[in-house]
Each structure stands twice: as C-alpha cells, then as structure tokens.
Structure 1
C-alpha cells in the first residue's frame, strides 16, 4: 500500500520514551498514516476526546474514559497503558503550618486541579479505602471543570476564586493539602502527606494486587466499525515503539493486554463507583469490543 492509500488517522499521543520511535518515524506503517496532534501535554486535550470526538485514536485518562463510557460516549478501550504510577507522592501539605497525616483529613480543605481527574480519584480512593476519609466532609477547591460535560461536581466542591493558584493557596494556608499531578515542589515547606510514599505504594500494591493506571488508549467506535484493521495496526505500532525503547535500556513499562490489566481496571472502576463518578459498576469486558479485547493476548 503506498502513502496515498494509507488510512489517515488523527491521533493524540504524549511524548514518552515508549512513544519516541513511533513519533519520530523509526516505527512506520504501510497501513495507517498517523497525524499527531500538536498537544505537548495530552491531558490538556482530554475534553476534546470525550466531548468533540476530535481524534480517531487518543491517549486518555482511565477515569475520564470510565466516566465517558458510563454515559454512553462512543469510545472503545485498547489494552495499552501509556502511564501507570502509584499516586501516593502526589498529595502535599505545608509543614510550616504543622504536621498532617492521612488520618487527619476529615473536615479539611483540599485543593486539586479538577475533582474528577485521574490522579485525584486515585488519591481519594486510597484515603477513603485505607485511611477512613469521609469524602463528603472535605471542602474541595478546584480550578477546572470536569472533562466529561455531563458530570456535576458534588456540592462540597467549590471553584477557587479567579486569580488564585493551587500551590500559593497551600502556602498561604487557604487549603490544608493539595493534590498535584507533578508531585512535590522544591519549596522546603512542602512535604508529601505520606511520609514514605514508596513504602505506602508497595503496601497498597500488596493489598490490591494492582497498579494505578493513569492513561490508556481509546479509539472511536466509528473507526472500529469502518476500519478495525487500522486499530489493530495502531496497537502493533505502540507495541513496536515500546520494544525499541526497551532495547535502548528504557525503563520497564506497564504491561499491555486485557488480562494483564483486568485487575488494574477493576480497582479503577471500584474507586469510581465508591466516589459516585459513575452510576453503575461497569464490567471490564464491556469497555472493549471484539477487536480490541484480543489485542496483546
């Protein structure tokens, strides 16, 4: 198939070691022609994925996908994890104002970018399940609306006043803790809520036998209906790009494949249900279709 016959696909994909070979053309396809969106941080375009269906294939936060899927959005999951990490390092407090433990958050004020983002959902789930946090007792301060338009924030979620910044509010004592996606800041006053995040993460993993997925890959249902072979090819390209990165000494990445991620997704669904982000317990299998379910098997 020559270039003019390849299936054109508009794709949202971040810049990672595992995607470099695909994005720089080292890994190529005779079947699809990928046009990558000029979006340095994919999370800045997640609303475009679930509201406008702008991309044929897209990296997407798992919680945003689950919320969209539960509301009937025509997106199908591929068993391809782009980011998976433990979230314990991403809730911070200002130690200058006294110590704070994960058991002391009921009735407190916590700031975060948006209530339903994936990092915040994982952190709330950890605190709710393992430390007895009553989510309804917290005053949540946000800065952005949800990615999924139909979701309405709980009544104890309030938007920060115009001009406010999350970390400055933490330093000024206007909030007691902050969930920050890029982790601890250089200011010596800022500490992680968990004194030893790595040990807490290992303990969580032992209890749950899962990892905390951030981003996976989705495809539009219309693409799967018309060109299922294109979706299979995108998955192959993602796998090949990961192999190139691994051969160059790259870090181990989360496994691809449905069964390798079934437990991870089950825990994500459970956290969504317990936090009322979705109104029914989705099954893992309904997130995929007959094409994507077997990818990587």
Structure 2
C-alpha cells in the first residue's frame, strides 16, 4: 500500500498501523508533498496521499476516483498571504495586477474568498496571472485569468515590480520590502476563525477508491493512528488547527467549496454530505466511524 505523507509523525503512525493489519506499507518520498497530487488524482499511483482541500474538491467535481479521509495534515491562517511592495491594501486589489502560483492553489482560494467576503472586491476587476495549471487534468482557469509566459516566475515578477500583489504561502521570498496587504493580518485572521469556528484547512488526506475497497482495514487503521497523533497535539479551548473527523471538517470544506465555485475553480457544486457518504460506503462503515 503506497503512502505519500509530508509529516514524519503521521507517516510513522500510519505505516505501523497498516503493517499490523497484514498489509505492507510503502512510503513514497515526494517533496514538496503537493507534487504528488497530480499522479494521485489522475493516475492513482498512490493509495493514500496528502492532498490540498481544493484538490479534493476539484477531483470530485471532475469525477476522479478520490475519496476523503477526514484528517487535517496542515491548517493555517491565510490573511497574511496577500502581499505587496507598495502602499496598496486589500481593498485596492480591483484594478491592479495579482499573481498566484495556480488558480486552484488552496492558499489563493482562501485569500480570494476573504477579498470578496470581507473587503467587497470584485475579482473580475483585477488583472490575475497564474504560473501553472491545476493538479486535476481537465480543470481550466477562468477566461478572465491569464497564464504567465513559459519560464516566468511568480517571485521574480513580484519582486521586480511587474505585479502589484502576490498571493504566496510557503513560496514567499525573503525580502524586507514585502508587507502584508491586510492590516493587522494575524488579528484579522484569528477573529475570522473565531467567528467561523475553524481555521482554514490546507491539506487533508485522500484515499483512492481502489484502496478503500481492497484495503479497508488498513485504511481505517491508518486513520485511527493518525487521528491519535493529531488529537495529542490539539490545544484545549482553541479553534482546532488540525480538525479530524467528518463533523469537524464540515465548516472548512463547505466554505472552501463555496469559494471555489464562486471563483470558477470547480465547474459545479460539491456537496459535503456526498463526500461523507462516498467515503463511508467505500470503506464499508457508517459515517460515525470517521467522526461523522
């Protein structure tokens, strides 16, 4: 059973649990972990894979054999990811140029959702540039989004002034000129999460339909083991950074799906209850077994 997990602690727990069921695990070394998504979604070359929440939504919308295993491997605040070199603010995005690695990048979906919801920005009035396509074959950028020329780099275009704004998470370059476009970004993000009841989720765990059918005991054992690791790291009284279980992930998935549909990231709505039902049925368990 082939696994792709970015976190060593989760991978070790999953491997041990899978082995105890009589199935031999094989952890595939892929770094950064998001590079495994294309092969997992389009070619089923892994059985259990860490994937972005938006990749799951796109995969389901495009009929790929991908199921959700409700574990959050990466959650983080996102308001700080809209950056600029000048004096512009989030309210100024309309009428200016903005770069983002991919239109389907989860960080971008969250940040654009904040722009429309909190700052009243009409996304179509900004000049959007992307630098690569989706992980899901067949998913296209909206007609009002342009692709950068081959060889262009987001960081270079931003730092050299060809973009007014950039949306960047881990790929943010180190430069003292960079500042966040959202005032008091940390405080704003924390307030948003308190009001919503969840922190934006970036990465979850996907499982192929074939693995769910052929190795259900191993998949469920891996889920239990990873859940145990994540539960020990939870801070009482705080909005969970790594929610686990179908119930705990409902808010993040529902909001992300709404943002993705509004932004043209997915071609049609994705119903969370259908995700729950598909995963539960494939694994032969009731939703409650996976925190439903």
The answer for unaligned runs of 5 or more in structure 2 is 235-239
CA distance in 2, matches of 1:40, 1:15: 11
The structure with the greater share of residues assigned to helix is 2
Q: What are the residue-to-residue correspondences of 1:1-297 with 2, within 5 Å?
A: 9-15=1-7, 18-19=9-10, 21-22=12-13, 29-31=19-21, 32-95=23-86, 99-182=87-170, 184-242=172-230, 253-288=241-276, 289-290=279-280, 291=283, 293-297=287-291
- RMSD value, Cα: 2.3
How far apart, CA to CA, are the structure 1 residues paired with 2:219 and 2:122? 42
- CA separation of 1:20 and 1:38: change in aligned 2, threshold 3 A: closer
1:47-82 per-residue CA deviation (whole Å, 9 max, x = no partner) reads 111111111111110001101101111111011111
> How far did residue 102 of structure 1 move?
0.8
Report runs of 4+ in structure 1 exceeding 6 Å deviation.
25-28
Change (3 A) 1:295 1:214: farther
Cα offset, 1:295, TM superposition: 3.8
Q: TM-score, normalised by structure 2?
A: 0.88
Asked whether the equivalents of residues 27 and 241 of structure 1 are also in contact (C-alpha less than 8 Å), the reply is no
Contact 2:155 2:172 in 1 (8 A): no
Question: Partners in 2 of 1:279 and 1:163 — Cα distance?
Answer: 28
1:14-41 superposed Cα distances (whole Å, 9 cap, x missing partner): 035x426437x77773113221111121
Q: Distance in 2 between matches of 1:20 and 1:112?
A: 30
SS of the residue aligned with 1:237?
A: helix
The runs of 5 or more residues in structure 1 that have no matched partner are 1-8, 247-251
- Contact conserved, 2:83 with 2:178, CA < 8 A, in 1? yes
Name the CA distance, whole Å, in 1 between partners of 2:82 and 2:233. Answer: 30
| Aligned equivalent of 2:237 | none
Is the contact between residue 184 and residue 191 of structure 1 (CA under 8 Å) also seen in structure 2?
Answer: no
Cα offset, 1:243, TM superposition: 5.7
The answer as to whether partners of 2:18 and 2:219 remain within 8 angstroms in 1 is: no
